[in-house]
Chains A and B, each alone.
Chain A
Amino acid sequence: MTITGIITMAVSVAAVWTLFIWCSTLLVRADKEQKRQEDR
């Protein structure tokens, strides 16, 4: 595997996982917040 191949793979994989983790964290936090407000 070449250096550019490793970089391509690492950047692509890191980009999609970072996006997924960031989005789902925001969504879970918002869900919890909404539930707390509904419980009140």
Chain B
Amino acid sequence: MAKTKRGDSWSSGLTVVLAVAGSAVGFGNFLRFPGLAAQYGGGAFMIAYFCAFVFMGLALSWMEWSLGRCGGRLGGHSCASIFTLLSDYAHKWKYLGVFGVVAPLGIGMYYMDLEGWTLGYAWHTAMGDLNLETPEQFGEFFTHFTGASADGDIFLKESSLIIFFLLALFANFYLLYRGVVKGIEWFCKWSMPILLLIAIAILVRVLTLGTPDPAYPERSVEQGLGYMWNPDKVVLVTDDGKGGTKTLDMVPANSTPEQTKAYIEKVQKANPGVSVRAESIDIWHGLLNPNLWVAAAGQIFWTLSIGFGVILCYSSYVEPKRDIALSSLTANAANEAVEVGLAGLMIIPAAVSFLGVAAAAGASTFGLGFNVLPQVFAAMPLGQLFGTVFFLLLFVAAITSSISLVQPSIAFIEEYWGIPRVQSVAIVNFLIFVGALMVAWFSGDDMVALSTLDFWMGTMSLYIITALYFIMFRWVIGTDRGIEELRRGALIHIPTGLLKFVINWSAPCILGVIFVSWLYDNIFNEVCQPVRDLLELKAGAVLPMLWVVITTVFCCMVVHTSKRFRNKTLPGEPTERTPQS
């Protein structure tokens, strides 16, 4: 059997956990989860969230780890080679596996820009450039910095983004060039504990804020925590003019009916010209809301990095004797601890205590991170320090994710062409650089390139790849063999019967519902903006997608021309065994 080289294996069980957790911890943990949990009412959302974790997330994650280690034992480290080896060299799987190489690369193209944003915001916060006053000024800063005013504006003097983007790209290049052990493992080993310490420090600061402005007694940490976690609450909303509602405030908890009425009147006075009405959210109504279940399951799917091809690649470097069941569980637990146990207590309370519920409610992921939170730090005592540290935290979280997104393609080029690491890193970084430059250039017109790549590569592709994993796990290698692989060296007991049921039935059904609901929302009910941009042939949508197509063709050519993984044995090649042998 072809074994992975000793130098390409993780040095311990804990390091692979840190690497996978580092890959999973990112913007979704700190910015997306708190917004969703608050929107759907903490209690009901958390019940659905934990159900999705147990009945979908955990099984999907184990499935990907199992496929990865199984492929790694046979000598494959990328989705293409692993699919080829596991399918006993079936022709179609050779090319289907390319999806799992291109998708993370496509995500990496815009992730590199986001990394530049976080580094740039850390720098500008430290320099005091974000000591602004009005929300409009913060919005203007964001527009100028990201070059969102018009296409190509990142090359203007006002935008320093290009410098931070190049720094982020160089950092990625350096870490990836050093390899799995000396680069990725080394970085994750020190960066993840630092990330945790920074997050705890910010959490302590946020929880001790109290009521920062006595003129607004309802803007407090307690109100923020209540908005995030109370299963039963009364929110004050108004029509947003697009058929939906916009949250303006929340009635403080434990208010009497008289106090509630007085509070509604107060909010109505503060918002003249709009009709304010009270909406009750309670746990039972929440649990009967199908959108809540879809949102919770979708969050679990994204946050655990399932379908990115990253877990598949990282787990292929785990030695055959070592445990993967507990490692997977630990990586997921670390991700959940950061998401629920830190971000869930930190972001919304901070935003509510300075800006009120309206600012925190309904803010998009980027709106919360790069518009709302800078305002919070500007108003907070020692905010310059904590703001800088927070954006550095986001940068560390982003870089551990981006290196994991690029590593599968490097492994792919290395193993198919057999070229030195420096060359494969250079080729892949060139592909990333061109794509990222396009994303940065086409930042005008509502970040058209970023939203296009996020829609097609960061969302649609993940469903396709996860569906391929299911087919591979259930019908190609077989659920029994897959679970056997998971149990090899396992340090915890695996409930085989339950896991089989979850992998064969519950997880695909839940995922199918999420996918159909996503399709309905974005295509059938109303064609969403990224699809419209592509149909209207906007340059900012077409060119990055064209680059992704060119990258896909290039990867298919690599598969087609390589002599490796072509058939079972080749003279001079290590003997590769099929799973059946």
Residues of A within 8 A of B (CB): 1-2, 4-6, 8-9, 12-13, 15-17, 19-20, 23-24, 26-28, 30-31, 34-35
Contacts and interface: CB of A to CB of B under 8 A. Distances in A.
Interface of B: 12-14, 17, 42-43, 46, 50, 222-223, 225-226, 228-233, 253-254, 283, 322-323, 326-327, 329-330, 333-334, 336-337, 339-341, 344-345, 491-492
Contacts of A15: 50
15 contacts: A1-B226, A2-B233, A2-B254, A4-B43, A5-B225, A8-B42, A8-B229, A9-B42, A9-B229, A12-B341, A20-B337, A20-B341, A24-B334, A26-B330, A30-B326
Given A2-B232, A2-B254, A5-B226, A12 B14 contact: no
A27 B42 contact: no
Contact of A23 (B43, B229, B329, B345): B329
B55 to A, nearest CB: 16
Contacts of A30: 13, 323, 326, 491
A8 to B, nearest CB: 4
Contact of B491 (A9, A13, A27): A27
A1 B224 CA distance: 9
A2 to B, nearest CB: 5
Contact of B330 (A9, A16, A23): A23
Contacts of B14: 24, 27-28, 31
Given A2-B254, A9-B345, A24 B232 contact: no
Contact of B230 (A2, A12, A35): A2
B249 to A, nearest CB: 16
Contacts, number: 102
Contact of A16 (B223, B254, B340): B340
B13 A13 contact: no
Nearest to A1: B226
A23 B42 contact: no
A19 B328 CA distance: 12
B230 A23 contact: no
A30 B337 CA distance: 22
A6 B50 CA distance: 17
Contacts of B283: 4
B24 to A, nearest CB: 13
A20 B225 contact: no
Contacts of B491: 26-27, 30
Q: Which of A2, A15, A24, A35 has the most CB atoms of chain B within a 10 A radius of its CB?
A: A24
